[in-house]
Structure 1
């Protein structure tokens, strides 16, 4: 790539153009009201004004400590000669928001975009944590394209229970299935609950939050080493502090998201996702972010670029360890270096540090080669995200091989159909349900339009009568998502979704379905004529919202294979400055 050339400095900043620069009535209007916060006059002398875009919220537990980190960012901004101004944006917390935080990712992105577009900011630090907040803030910042940099809140400390480490999410799913199978009691389950989340921070597994923190770093949008530092480690505060320093220089250099998030950067992120055993949710989020930058990224890119990437990070849900061990082993820079040395990355990709990706990681060391393994000892030699297609998923569906049972990656079974999540909940405990471990569980109407919001229900729990046999995995197919902390042979994001009239909508009990991951095939074993007849007779059972944000979402959301963004938000719009109305 062409080496980045910083802009000449000093230059007229955005905050000076009609806002804080000059002596007109409007300039004085803007400055004088800001001064009611006790800001000295010389802070408006032409220095960069840096926004701190904060998703802090006590309703988003992963982000509840971001107020402290924001103060550390401010210290760095002041040191570097900038003026920090913190502001809140919509915070989507997966554990507390209904029907699902994914429904509000686009709303948060709109909030960020309009806040950046309509206020006197020269650059912005994006404070993120819970998984949807990271893509939402990157999407909004990419749309406006002013200098931006990410600081994540970091993962929780390891859970500790009965002498063993337990991971957030992953252990929850495992213990829940154990309770259904009669292996543990409800009292045991409640005891484990209080041991799971023992510090501030996001999931301590390689769930979606840790995955998206890694994606921000792999895209070059966060400083090297940001992704894995535990939330309560003092080095997380140092990272916030130096990020505050760095954004001021980025403004002076006019280093923007569009300079960093190139096609090569996205290709790097896809390969890193394969190496870390990252969440399937990264597929949807990176597709959406790429759409905001104007980068042509597709599901085929995910399959092509991730197919030959070994999963070398031995973390739950794919492996053994948790994020603490990943950080102590050297974190994401070690993974990036290994991929770079193997010729699997664009080493010259630019990052927000101003250096190339390779320059940042070339001297790092791996301190634990069981946590970050060499390629020859990988968890799986073909990691990444597998994209399967066929008459059941004409636009594609995704599966995470590193979290699946190898023997089930090629499987043919009888469909047991659940029309929606309520139908599943009503039937799954029924001892008379006609199902065994060879069947394929099919869940409909849980995609972007169907749930609505595409909830994390794709990793359907198995029926108790199957669990009691000692079976822990079955093939499951849906248009839903699953948590990045989840595991199993789960086919997700089936597109077109059932609520949009995709073939998934007309699968019937007893149909035979063939999954062939090595050959990237997902096939409903009925004739083309029968499939057409069923689709012609299909009618949606999903109610259409009549008003409010739910109506906007239903009418505007695009398919999962395109990132589930709103159709009117896709594209690179840039930082047009609104006209002053005063």
Structure 2
């Protein structure tokens, strides 16, 4: 066993004394030691129930003959961090989670790991750590939140963000806004739509590192507790068989993930996280490859924010196995990929038919013939940009209009809420990238303000920051190179025409090449906004080109 290096031989005596100080018996020390990474905290709704998940995992580990040992991981609530400097810390927390988990698992040589995850950066951070450490590992999430109801309509947290814009536009009363606040998030769990947290929990299932149901069984259901117990039991089998994350998360597994991502209409942030996880596996994913997969993968689901369906609806319609079973009819899924169940993907999804064709469409009647995410390139984004195509109104698939340029999210929000953005405009928010932010903030507030103001079908938004999985509309993020690196988005002037063609995968600044070259020659780097602390060190890392898998 891997833990023998700290348990066996005469030189292990001091370490054994410390293990005894934990209350471990000789019988326990002889058994496999299983590290359980607990992301439980009292500030993130998706994590407030993880103590129950951890307890269930511990029971499962013990039932199977192992010894559960819990250690913590941090987690940031993107929704609570939104709209202030806290959002600058959200994405970078992913690296802290991966690094600290690596430190704990190497310093204390556990025989296996159970990653108890839930929300946006926590799930990919732990998947990155699992790949990096590469000892038998399995993921279990806390499960999605149930959706709420308000005046006869399903609502989620994204409904509240959009309601802020509606209120400022004078189209909603303070009483209704308060009523929505009180019912939009009715339970614990990761927010109820196909936002980033649930996207990545589904991806952990598709990649094969979590048991079926991990992405969709709601947090409040007892089935989630049973799944946690099964997860705890299953890690002992993985340890015995020495099945490791990189045995499961192969290049073919990531192709499966991209296909299912397109079918589900996942968050654009999956285009940040899947390449980062793949990088830790020694696999490089080019963003442009997403378009190739999208061409052959129909969009089968319109969950919130693209539609009203929630994760509970997806679970009741058959969950991820039903989506994958339907996709398998195209003959493109890699059905022989291994999974933590001990079975192949094909064996896991066999017989899982769609139970509600209004939630999971059949392949011959999709919501869209192409996948839910598109990568756009052009002279404004030479290295690419990302849009959640499934959440764009058909009328905005092609759009051209004058640029309204802002050098921070805060200035853009003030303009939108102040009624200074008009139909046809293209809002440009720059210097919000990994280096320029620093930290690459999510732009849920400005997109929600646009939707809430009734401009979702007439105004586009482009940024070198990123978008929340809850964003919808013609919102194009991750524009690269970013403004802080002198990318073309830094050269946009107020009033410049910008052309967006999502069907053709292009993003064009309608300015002659000679003029762009002149602007580039005159461009001067800006001084960093943050000069001390972790974000400053992070920005320097990005500036030096030592990105690793981060944010490219």
Q: Could you state the TM-score of these two structures normalised by the residue count of structure 2? A: 0.94
Moved more, 91-100 or 297-306: 91-100
CA contact (8 A) 1:499 1:542 kept: no
2:378 paired with 1:398: no
For 1:513, what is the secondary structure of its paired residue?
A: strand
Are 1:145 and 2:139 matched, yes or no? Answer: no
- Report the CA distance between 1:543 and its aligned residue: 1.8
Q: In structure 2, do the counterparts of structure 1 residues 298 and 471 end up closer, same or farther at CA, with 3 Å as the change threshold? A: closer
Do 1:50 and 1:124's aligned partners in 2 also have CA atoms closer than 8 Å? yes
3-state secondary structure, aligned to 2:237: helix
Tell me which residue corresponds to 1:447: 433
Distance 2:149 2:453 in 1: 27
Q: 1:482 is matched with which residue?
A: 467
1:567 to 544, 547, 550: 547
Matches within 5 A, 1:364-443: 364-431=352-419, 433=420, 435-443=421-429
Q: How does 1:213-224 map to 2 (within 5 A)?
A: 213-224=201-212
Aligned to 1:156: 145
Q: Which of 433, 446, 452 is residue 460 of structure 1 equivalent to?
A: 446
Residue of structure 2 equivalent to 1:577: none
Q: How far did residue 91 of structure 1 move? A: 2.0
1:130 aligns with 2:119: yes
How much does 1:336 deviate?
0.8
Q: 1:77 to 1:469 in 2, by over 3 A?
A: closer
- Quick check: 1:117 aligned with 2:106? yes
The separation in 2 between residues aligned to 1:161 and 1:343, in whole angstroms, is: 42
- Corresponding residue for 2:266? 278
Q: After superposition, what is the alpha-carbon deviation per residue over 1:399-453, rounded to whole angstroms, capped at 9, x for unaligned? A: 111000112111221111112123223433445x3x4211211111111112221
Partner residue of 1:74 out of 27, 33, 58: 58
| Residue in structure 2 matching 1:86, options 53, 56, 70 | 70
Count of matched residue positions in the alignment of Structure 1 and Structure 2:
545
The equivalent residue for 2:534 is 549
Question: d(CA) in 1 for partners of 2:80 and 2:411?
Answer: 23
Is 2:240 aligned against 1:260? no
1:349 equivalent in alignment to 2:337 = yes
1:20 and 2:7 aligned: yes
Counterparts in 2 of 1:245 and 1:473: CA distance versus 1, 3 Å: farther
The equivalent residue for 2:488 is 503
**SS at the partner of 1:336?**
helix
Aligned residue for 1:96, secondary structure, equals: helix
Contact 1:220–1:352 under 8 Å retained in 2: yes
- Could you tell me which runs of 5 or more consecutive residues in structure 1 were left unpaired when the two chains were aligned: 1-12, 560-564, 571-582
Structure 1 residue 521 and structure 2 residue 506: aligned? Answer: yes
- Normalising by structure 1, report the TM-score: 0.90
Q: Which runs of 5+ in 2 are unaligned?
A: none
1:19-68: CA deviations, max 9, x gaps?
Answer: 0123x2x42222222223332210112x2211001111112221111111
Q: Single out whichever of 176-185 and 213-222 deviates more from structure 2.
A: 176-185
Once the two structures are overlaid, the 10-residue window that deviates more, 377-386 or 335-344, is: 377-386
**For residues 204 and 543 of structure 2, what CA distance do their matches in structure 1 show?**
23
Alpha-carbon spacing, 1:190–1:121, altered in 2? closer, same or farther (3 Å): same
Query: Contact 1:314–1:370 (CA<8 Å) still a contact in 2?
Result: no
Are the counterparts in 2 of residues 303 and 384 from structure 1 also a CA contact under 8 Å? no
Cα distance in 2 for partners of 1:125, 1:78 equals: 13
- Among 211, 233, 236, the alignment partner of 1:248 is 236
Conserved? CA contact 1:387–1:399, under 8 Å: yes
Q: What per-residue deviation string (whole Å, max 9, x for no partner) do you get for residues 555-580 of structure 1? A: 12379xxxxx963578xxxxxxxxxx
